Amino acid sequence: MESDSVKVSVRVRPFNKREQGNNMTSVIATDTRKATVTMCNRNRKEMTGEGTKIFQFDHVFWSVETPDACGARPATQADVFRTIGHPLVQHAFDGFNSCLFAYGQTGSGKTYTMMGADVKTLGGEGSGVTPRICLE
């Protein structure tokens, strides 16, 4: 990890119960190998053509049960930590300032990613990035 760089990662969460109940459909596709998110116009079904935008990131995590457009399996909490948290800890141990923050609207999965599903169980499979950093 470079000492002066900012890394931007995106984690795509599954639909919540309300969204499932409203029969929402996804307007994005990811390519986790290329770290891209493709967003299409919500009136279109295909991910190409007018109204389609492709965004590039340092890391893209697909956390939906069905595979992404490239067949990638859903990212686990361990995958996110291995990709983001572990290098951040190593960077700090190397004497550099490090910061990790989650940004997004309410209900987008920030707390789940950072803390995990059950904050009382440190080091468990569902532990988020923060408890894993503390245990590192």
Known binding residues for ATP: 104-111
Binding positions are 104-111
Stretch (H or E) spanning 54:
strand 53-56
Nearest to 50 by CA among 63, 41, 59: 41
Tell me the two tokens of residue 5: 């760089």
- CA gap 50, 44 in Å, rounded: 9
